[in-house]
A and B are shown apart, each in its own frame.
Chain A
Amino acid sequence: MNNLLVLPFLLPVLTAVICCLFVGRPGVGRRVFIAISAAAQCALAFYLAVRAFHEPPLVLLMGGWAPPLGVVLVVDGLAAIMLCLSTVVALACILFSYAEIPVWAEQPLRLPLMQLLVAGINLSFLTGDLFNLFVAFEIMLVASYALLTLEANDRHIKEAFPYLAVNMFGSALFLVAAGLAYSVFGTLNLADISRRAEAMQGDFGVMVVAVLLVVVFGIKAGVFPLYYWLPNSYPILPFSLGAFYSGMLTKVGIYVLLRTFGTVFPHNLTQLYTALAWLAGLTMVLAVLGAVSRNFIRGILSFHIVSQIGYMILAIGFFTPLAIAACIFYVIHHIIVKSSLFLIGGTAMFYNRTDNLARMGGLLKASPILATCFIIQAFSLAGVPPLSGFWGKYAIILVGLEEHRYWLVVAALVASVLTLVSMLKIWMGAFWQKLPADGTADPEAPAAARTMTAIVCALTLISLAIGFGAEFFFGIAQTAATSLLDPAQYREAVFSLTGKGGQ
């Protein structure tokens, strides 16, 4: 029954193709179809997650070719967690977009492209082959380029160009890295690379490939000094798409960094870990300063993505088993909280018709539930106990103190305080202050506003559950981290299967 592994990729692709070829026009039926498909993907991801946590990693040989000849798909604990998160966030964003835009105003290509984006993201979690990973990244990026410019107006479309240029440069570097990996290791299968890299420990070639991959995924994840494309390009997206981009796209970079350092390369690249940790410290502080300087919701939240990426990279930079578990926990918390904050911003914009803080206000009175959700998620992002963000940051800072990296701990704490400052800026501007004389706080469609608030509430409840059930979620993260850091288990799962052309 391992054939199921291809479905998290195949289902969104099929949905997109059916929508483009047979149901070209937006309509209620098409919306229901896509929602059902998204819900099915979600259920499938959770089913795979339950299996992945009770069994050794699940492996599917594409075309029946024995590894390392063919492409393999592998689902272990971490991949399963990421699949669950991406499908849940996709479902929430799709439902939110139904409330955000009436059927007649919907761009016909938007939902199919979003499904292709999900397909690319899921494939990059599933794949166990470096070149296939490149293809998955390209599917994801091409869909993201198209969505970014699909509904942009004249002024916004210019902001998209730096995003395109930086990401295309990153993709070219990825291709170079893949070619180099093939010439150094003689294979592109991740399990096989890990086997050969172990035998080549200390070899200069291993280091070169590792550094190139760090640069590539650092660009994709938005690490200092190459993050400036992100906070300027995300604000041009509609909120429902912005939530999905901010939740998932950069986290694919984090996932691949975890995968390459945990499973593929030998665990002795100490200089590289130190470099990553320092870059992470700079990313956290500089990006959060950017967030404090912005005065509209999407801008503030976009800078926060980069700042939070810093925490995850910092955990990877410490590279102890506890730090990796903390990083995985942080990813779980971050994806849910970040996406829901974007969706809260979208709902706030629906009430105020703008997301410029100077012209917003009165939302505490207009929608107390929304304000409650916002304050919970904002405190969670800043790391106030007992909310979900606290536990991830606590574990990361604990590791930092154990490792005597005091300056990096200071940077993490400063960034955390500044996060709270910029979140309070949104709170004061949009929720607390009185409505400006020329502003409005009545949504055009109250029913749609209620649907949006319900979706936001559901995500807030998930995030509360992560915070209060931290022991359970940290247990999951630790299980995933243990299997991630055990390349032998990964290799055995892949090479135990036989197929065509086996040795």
Chain B
Amino acid sequence: MQIETALLVGLLFAVSVYLLLHKSFVRILFGFVTLTNATNLFLISMSGDPDGKRAPILAEGSGPIVDPLPQALVLTAIVIGFGLTIYLIMLLYRIFLDAKTTDASKLFLPEADDE
């Protein structure tokens, strides 16, 4: 499980950085979504190798359990990432309404009243 997770996290980070470096704000948004997922996966993988371990519910018998703390952390991280994604979508929508484009190279043209 460990090596596959590590490869997947690496792949997700690569895809998200590739997307974040684009000019189009829509791609940056998708880059951010991928980035939060990559981070969350990384965080949950910090509980170690889950093979042969139970879910951390103490009432259901004994034996080795997976470390529950990263799961608690990842819940917080998911909520924060979700909120930020919604915020970015709304901002993008506003930029699109204003400028009718989401391409940064067309948005950043200097204007006459630029200060």
Contacts and interface: CB of A to CB of B under 8 A. Distances in A.
Interface of A: 131, 135, 138, 142, 145-146, 149, 154-155, 157-158, 160-161, 164-165, 168-169, 171-172, 175-176, 178-180, 182-183, 188, 296, 354-356
Given A131-B73, A161-B95, A175-B39, A182 B46 contact: yes
Nearest to A166: B20
A138 B91 contact: no
B98 A157 contact: yes
Contact of B39 (A149, A158, A172, A354): A172
A149 B91 CA distance: 8
A178 B46 CA distance: 10
Nearest to A145: B87
Interface in B69-100: 69-70, 73, 76-77, 80, 83-84, 87-88, 91, 94-95, 98-99
Nearest to A297: B115
A296 B28 CA distance: 30
List of 5 A-B pairs having minimum Cβ-Cβ separation, nearest first:
A154-B98, A179-B43, A183-B46, A179-B46, A172-B39
B99 A142 contact: no
B87 A169 contact: no
A20 B80 CA distance: 21
Nearest to A184: B46
Nearest to B92: A161
A176 B94 contact: no
A164 B95 contact: no
B98 to A, nearest CB: 4
Given A172-B39, A175-B42, 9 more contacts: A131-B73, A131-B76, A145-B87, A146-B87, A161-B28, A165-B28, A168-B35, A182-B46, A182-B69
Nearest to A182: B46
Contacts of A178: 43, 73
Nearest to B45: A179
Interface of B: 20, 25, 28, 32, 35-36, 38-40, 42-43, 46, 48, 69-70, 73, 76-77, 80, 83-84, 87-88, 91, 94-95, 98-99, 104, 107-108, 111, 115
A160 B88 CA distance: 11
Nearest to B25: A161
A66 B46 CA distance: 23
Contact of B42 (A171, A176, A354): A176
A355 B115 CA distance: 8
B46 A157 contact: no
Nearest to A232: B108
Pick the most buried of B20, B40, B115: most chain A CB atoms within 10 A of its CB.
Answer: B115
Contact of B77 (A168, A175, A182, A356): A175
Pick the most buried of A146, A169, A296: most chain B CB atoms within 10 A of its CB.
Answer: A169
A145 B83 CA distance: 12
A1 to B, nearest CB: 30
A171 B81 CA distance: 10
B115 A142 contact: no
Contacts of B87: 142, 145-146
Given A158-B107, A179-B46, A183-B46, A172 B35 contact: yes
A188 B73 CA distance: 11
10 contacts: A142-B80, A142-B87, A158-B104, A165-B32, A168-B32, A168-B84, A172-B36, A183-B48, A296-B115, A356-B115
A158 B46 contact: no
Contacts of A164: 88, 91
Contacts of A188: 69
A179 B91 CA distance: 29
A46 to B, nearest CB: 32
Contacts of A179: 39, 42-43, 46, 70, 73
A141 B109 CA distance: 28
B42 A155 contact: no
Nearest to A155: B111
A182 B72 CA distance: 13
Nearest to A148: B91
A175 B40 CA distance: 8
Contacts of A169: 20, 32, 35
Pick the most buried of B38, B70, B77, B88: most chain A CB atoms within 10 A of its CB.
Answer: B77
Given A155-B111, A178-B73, A161 B42 contact: no
Contacts of B43: 175-176, 178-179
Contacts of A296: 115
Given A157-B94, A158-B107, A175-B77, A142 B83 contact: yes
A154 B88 contact: no
B115 A165 contact: no
B73 A161 contact: no
A245 to B, nearest CB: 18
A172 B28 CA distance: 14
A409 to B, nearest CB: 36
B25 to A, nearest CB: 6
A161 B88 CA distance: 9
A183 B91 CA distance: 36
B22 to A, nearest CB: 11
Contacts of A135: 76, 80
Contacts of B99: 154, 158
B17 to A, nearest CB: 9
Contacts of B70: 179, 182
A180 B46 contact: yes
Contact of A158 (B40, B69, B95): B95
B108 A158 contact: yes
